[in-house]
Amino acid sequence: MRSKGLLVIAAIAAFTLGTARPALADNNADGSIGAVQAGTIGVDPSAGASQAGASVSGTVPISVGGSGNNTASNSVGAVQVGGGNSSSNSTGGVQVSAVNSSPSASAGANGTTAGASAPVTVGGGGSNTASGSTGAVQVGGGNSSAGSGGAVQVGSASATPTAGAGMAGSAASASFPVGINGGGNNATGSTGVAQIGGGNNSTSSTLAGQSGAITVGSSAAGTTPAGTQTASNPVSVGGPGSNSATGSTGTAQIAGGNTATGSAGTVQSGPVTATPSATSGGTAGTASTPTGGAGAVGAAGGTPTAAAAGQPSTSTTQAAPVPVNEQSLPNTPLGASKTPAGFPAGQLPFTGLALLLFVVLGVALLATGLGIRTRARA
């Protein structure tokens, strides 16, 4: 009897060990007060319905996590979410690992479909480290704050919202990707520093704002039995390189490759490039910005150029239209004809009244005047 019980216990133990999942990241708070630590977080809610040939569905997956453990040593009020966060001798530090979210939705009925998605990513590899800092906020990975006060650091961020629809052989889609790129952020001995993206370095600076390279690439496409039309308007600010502010006050740096040393009230920006383009029916051309300031074909208030419409870029200059009241008959000098072109004979210009009526009225008034004059002389 005892041997059977031992066999049952051994079998349960073997089954448990054989199916156990990897352990979550460990949280460690040594000598800290008011520390809040949470390991990797992941949720994936979804919903869907279908009835009478129509269907709809949606999902909102969200994950927060990183590699490594959360460690808070001799810190006060430390909040750490995900893995790979480290806080030493800091006060009021908030650290969040890489964040990913990919909400999407779709619907369909009677051969018509529509869908949309908006994936968002903040941060990438690397860990967040805050040493001897006060009020440090770090989101994403690869952020480092040492001896700083009021430092806000956000890793590289990207969002790619898209939407599309289709019906009866036609389809349309649009996207608006936005990204702030770069490596890690570093704030050493700085106060009031805000760093977004990556590749930002602030040393012994006050009130510094730094952002990595920014890219925006709106695009749209449509397909019909007559052909396909596409338009895009990519815009980028900055290029490779990092932002660096050393011993500076009131520095603003956008995109990469900016350096400020011992400066005050400095604003620096990388190069800005925009290359709008459009195709129609398979013919491509680079389009200049349409009149009205819109960067995409068909935008409100904008008139596409010939290249934007898919036609050859060469064009002939057309003469300005002549007002109606200045037009003349063919092969006749201006002023030789009292009747502007475009008006029927027997009508007064601009009024449309019968000319004969005014002739009769004029003759009657003339006769009346002559009669009155004759009587006055008599």
Q: What is the mean pLDDT of residues 81-98?
A: 91
Q: What is the mean pLDDT of residues 330-337?
A: 48
Distance in angstroms (rounded) separating the CA atoms of residues 332 and 334:
6
Q: What is the DSSP letter of 20?
A: P
Q: Which of 4-18, 33-47, 115-129, 273-287 has the lowest mean pLDDT?
A: 4-18
The residue type of 259 is T
Domain range annotation of the chain: 73-96+118-158+174-222+230-280
Dihedral (C-alpha) 325, 331, 336, 342: value to the nearest 10 degrees? -30
Q: What is the mean pLDDT of residues 350-359?
A: 62
pLDDT for 296 beyond 50: no
Q: Residue 138: what pLDDT?
A: 92
Q: What is the mean pLDDT of residues 17-40?
A: 71
Q: Are strands 120-122 and 99-101 parallel, antiparallel or unpaired?
A: antiparallel
**210-223 pLDDT, tens digit each:** 998 889 989 999 99
**183-196 pLDDT, tens digit each:** 789 999 999 999 99
Helix (H, G, I), strand (E, B) or coil at 79: strand
Q: Which of 28-37, 217-226, 334-343 has the lowest mean pLDDT?
A: 334-343
**310-333 pLDDT, tens digit each:** 344 444 444 555 454 454 444 544
Q: Does 2.160.10 match the CATH number of domain 73-96+118-158+174-222+230-280? A: yes
- Residue 366's pLDDT band, with cuts at 50, 70 and 90, is confident
List the Cα angle 59/60/61 in 5-degree steps: 110
Q: Residue 356: what pLDDT?
A: 67
Q: What is the mean pLDDT of residues 46-72?
A: 88
Is 218 in contact with 163 (CB distance < 8 Å)? no
Burial of 35 (0-12, 13-18, 19+ CB in 10 A): buried
Distance in angstroms (rounded) separating the CA atoms of residues 129 and 122:
17
Q: Are strands 206-211 and 249-254 parallel, antiparallel or unpaired?
A: parallel
Element of type H or E holding 357: helix 355-377
Q: Helix-strand-coil percent breakdown of the chain, rounded to 5?
A: 10, 45, 45
Q: Residue 124: what pLDDT?
A: 67
Percentage of the chain exceeding pLDDT 90: 39
Concatenating the DSSP letter of every residue in 170-237 gives EEEEEE--EEE--S-EEEES-EEEEEESS-EEEES-EEEEEE--EEEEEEEEEEETTEEEEEEEEEEE
Q: What is the mean pLDDT of residues 269-288?
A: 72
Q: Residue 250: what pLDDT?
A: 95
**231-253 pLDDT, tens digit each:** 999 998 887 778 999 999 999 99
Query: Which residue in this structure is represented by tokens 């389809």?
Result: 171
